[in-house]
Amino acid sequence: MKLILIFVICFSTNLLSAEKKILQKANNNLNDQASLQRGAMLFMNYCSGCHSMQYQRYQSVARDIGIPDELMENNLIFDKNSKIGDLMLSSLNKSQAEQWFGGVIPDLTMITRVKGVDWVFTYLNSFYKDDSRPFGVNNMISPNINMPHVLEELQGTTEINFKEKLIDGKMEIINEGIKSKGNGRLNEDEYLSSLRDLVNYLEYSSDPSKLKREKLGIWVMSFLILLIIFTFLLKKEFWKDIK
C-alpha cells in the first residue's frame, strides 16, 4: 500500500514538473502601477466584450490602480448601461454565449488563482492557425478551446514552428512552439510585454487587497521596529538604578 502511495506521489510530482517546463514565466510585477493600468486597458478593450469580472467594480479597480474616476468612466467602460459603481459584467448573456461559442464563457476575476499566472500568460501566447477549428485557431495548452485569438491583430498570424532535428541518429520533427508571421501591430517582445501587463492586471483582480496588504505591512513592520527601540530604551531606564 505504502509503495503504491509513494509511486503515485512521485508520478504526480513528475507530471507537475513536466507541465512547469512547458509554461512560460510571466514575470509580472504587482507593484508596477503603470503596468497594471496598461493591463486594465487591454482587458477592457480585448476581453470585457465576452468575459465578465463579476467580483470587481469599475470604481474599485480605478482607485486601486490609480486611474481617475472620470478617465475610467469616459474611456474604459464600454458597456453603455454601466456606471462607475457597477460590477464589471459582460454585455454578452448566457444564451448568446451558448449560441455563439457553444458553452459558458468563464468569469476572469479569479482565473489566475485557478490556473496560475504563468498558465494564463502561456495560454495567451499559444494560439495558432488551424483551419479545422470554428474560429480558425487552436491553442497548444488548451486544445480545441472555443475562444478566438482575440489578440491576433497585435501578435499577427501564428503557426506552429516545426523543425527537423537529429536525435539519437534519427531525424525527428520537433514542435518548437508558435511563431508569428510578423503581420501584427507588435513585435514579439512588445507582445510578450503586453501579455505581462494583462496577466498582471488579472493577478491583481484575483486578490485586490494584496496591494493594500503589502503597503500596510510596511507600516506595521516600521511601527514594530520603532516599538522595539522604545521598549529597549525603557528597559534600560527601569534597570538603571537597580544594581
* 123 interacts with ligand HEC by CB under 6 A: yes
What residue has cell string 480585448?
46
* 55 interacts with ligand HEC by CB under 6 A: no
Q: Phi and psi of 155, rounded to 5°?
A: -85, -30
47 is in an annotated binding site: yes
How many residues at the interface with ligand HEC, by CB under 6 A?
22
* 148 interacts with ligand HEC by CB under 6 A: yes
CB of 125 to ligand HEC, least distance (A): 11
* 23 interacts with ligand HEC by CB under 6 A: no
CB of 60 to ligand HEC, least distance (A): 20
CB of 102 to ligand HEC, least distance (A): 7
CA 196 – CA 192 distance, rounded (Å): 6
What residue has cell string 463579476?
54
* 136 interacts with ligand HEC by CB under 6 A: no
* 54 interacts with ligand HEC by CB under 6 A: no
10 is in an annotated binding site: no
- By CB under 6 A, name the one of 41, 101, 179, 188 that touches ligand HEC: 101
* 111 interacts with ligand HEC by CB under 6 A: yes
Residue with smaller CB distance to ligand HEC, 67 or 116: 116
50 is in an annotated binding site: yes
What does the binding site for ligand HEC look like in residue numbers (CB under 6 A)?
Answer: 46-47, 49-51, 101, 103, 105-106, 108, 111, 120, 123-124, 142, 145-148, 150-151, 198
